Structures are given as structure tokens and as C-alpha cells.
Amino acid sequence: MSTSYNPNIPISTDRILQSAKQIRANFVAINAAFSVDHVGLTQNELISGKHQQLSLRAQNIDPATTADQIAIYNNITNALPINIPALFFRPNNSQTPIQLSYSSVQTGLQSADPDVYFTKQYSFMAGPFVIYGGFIPLPNNGTIVTLSPNTTLLAVFINSANAKVPLFSGLGIAFNINAINISGSSFTISLGGLGNGFVDIYYTAIGIPS
């Protein structure tokens, strides 16, 4: 007995015994298909038919929306990075879609006992934007920092801490330390002529996936 759904049965000339097997096969096929992402119709009568999860197949176009519609969908063509499926939200009246997801994040602990945090971290914000944060101990003037995953950086913010020269340590003096030469996924640390290995650097950066 086939479990492939047949929309053409029964036909008017079928005998009852012949159609019975075909109709039963259709019910089996319907139940099998419905069980994907749902509690099956024969699994638990108290919650049968309810969603267990939602799987959205990737498509290549953004669906149109009317004045009283919105859409949440999976698009592989317009996603950043390209050719990686991502979740999108499209407002009503087919307004500009907003990417809601990203393919990865890197935050938190690199290892434990003792806790060691990633010195280069990144997350994602709908828009789409990748948000980076990191720590660079005692960089040299002109140190080039290349962030991953690749983006087109929009802004880089630098904070200095733990000055290693006793005269300046703990005085809260603001130094002319900046991120310069911001291009693609990279930026250069300028220590403002203070010399190499003078302070620790914390950075925050925002980029658009490429």
C-alpha cells in the first residue's frame, strides 16, 4: 500500500473495496505529512495537531504583503552573508524587509575552570548589524585588528584601561587613542604617540554583514 497522497481517488467508477484501500493510503499519507513539526494525529489525542517546532524552507523572493498583513519567512537570496538562509520580517504594504537572524555568534566563555572569556566576541542585531566586542592587551601603535566574521564596519569605539606607566596609572587621564583606517572588517589602533605596550584596549564595533 503506497503512502503517497493521491488526489484523484475515489473516482466514480471505483468499487467500494477498491477505493477503501486507496482512501486508507491517503489517510496514512496525510498523517505522515502532518506529523512533520506537529504532534501527529495518532500520537497524543490531548495535544494532537499542535506545533512542536516551526521549520521555514528557504525561498528566493520576498513575499508581498497587503495593508493588513506582515510576513516572517526564510530567504536565502537576500540574506547576509549571502547564500546562507536567514529569517526575515516584512512589514505591511511590502515595505523593506528586515533581516532578523544571523548564521553564528561568539560570546561568553572560551574555556572554564578557570573562566576564560573570548577576547574577540560578536553578536547580531536585526537590521542587519553585527556587534563586536573585544580585549587587546598592550597593543603596539599601528596594530591592525581584523574582525571575524567579515563585515563592512560602520563604527569602532575604543576604550583604554590599565595604563602601564606609573606616572599615569590610576589618574583617569584621557589619551588620544583611536581606531583609524577603518576599512572592511579591519581597523588600526593609534596610540597617539604614547609608545608601544602602554595600555590595554577594549573595543566595540558595529558592521553590516558582507
pLDDT of residue 171: 47
Does a structural domain hold residue 110?
A: no
Q: How far apart, in whole angstroms, are the C-alpha atoms of residue 141 and residue 176?
A: 12
Average pLDDT over residues 57-78: 94
Residues 138 and 174 both lie in one domain? yes
Element (H, E) at 111: strand 109-111
- pTM assigned to the model: 0.69
Query: Do 179 and 120 fall within a single domain?
Result: yes
User: Residues 149-178: pLDDT tens digits?
Assistant: 999 999 999 998 887 765 554 544 446 889
Three-state secondary structure readout of 130-199? EEEEEEECCCCCCCEEECCCCEEEEEEEEEEECCCCCCCCCCCCCCCCEEEEEECCEEEEECCCCCCCCC
Q: How many domains does the chain have?
A: 3
166 and 126 both lie in a single domain: yes
Mind listing the pLDDT tens digit for each residue in 3-58? 677 777 777 777 777 778 888 888 888 888 888 888 887 778 788 889 888 889 99
DSSP annotation of 201 reads E
Residue 108 in any domain: the answer is no
- Whether residue 44 sits in one domain with residue 65: no
39 and 62 housed in the same domain: no
Number of H helices, E strands in the chain: 1, 12
179: domain CATH number is 2.60.40.3940
Whether 129 is in a domain gets the answer: yes
Residue 25 lies in a domain: yes
Q: How many angstroms separate the CA atoms of 121 and 110, rounded?
A: 10
- 12 vs 53: CA distance, rounded Å: 40
Structural domain of 73: 56-101
Residue 186 lies inside a defined structural domain of this protein: yes
Do residues 81 and 125 share a domain?
no
Q: Are residues 156 and 172 in the same domain?
A: yes
